[in-house]
Amino acid sequence: MDTMNIALPGNLKDYVQSRVAEGGYSSVSEYIRELIRADQKQSAEQLLEQEILRGLNSGEPAPMTADNWNDIRLELKRRFLDRKSST
């Protein structure tokens, strides 16, 4: 795991330390990791909302055909295999 150092003013340092003590975190690092995960989740939710709105505003709905669903399945399989081969 990589290390990152941050500088905090005294009032923020005190706040973080109190949150660690009150929140049952084992360390400041654990608390910061939790904050970062929460931020990642919030960003993903915002992106999903944007995509849903984009879809809703994209025009009149069209019926889905079997070919449409097959194309979607193939694209998802391709993406999965691409990610799997890159790791």
- Does a structural domain hold residue 1? no
Alpha carbon of residue 17 to chain centroid? 26
- Give a yes or no: residue 22 inside a domain: yes
| Structural domains in the chain (count) | 1
Residue 5 lies in a domain: no
Q: Any idea which residue has 């984009």 for tokens? A: 54
Q: Residue 37 pLDDT more than 80?
A: yes
4 lies in some domain: no
pLDDT of 84 > 90? The answer is no
Q: Name the pLDDT band for 44 (thresholds 50, 70, 90).
A: very high
What are the structure tokens assigned to 69, written together? Answer: 């669903």
Is 51 part of any domain? yes
Q: What average pLDDT score do residues 30-51 get?
A: 98
What is the domain range of residue 23? 10-86
pLDDT confidence of 1, banded at 50, 70, 90?
Answer: confident
- Write down the pTM of the prediction: 0.67
Taking CA atoms, 80 is separated from 7, 45, 67, in Å, by 40, 21, 20
The verdict on residue 3 lying in a domain is: no
In this structure, is residue 73 part of a structural domain?
yes
Check whether 87 has a pLDDT greater than 80: no
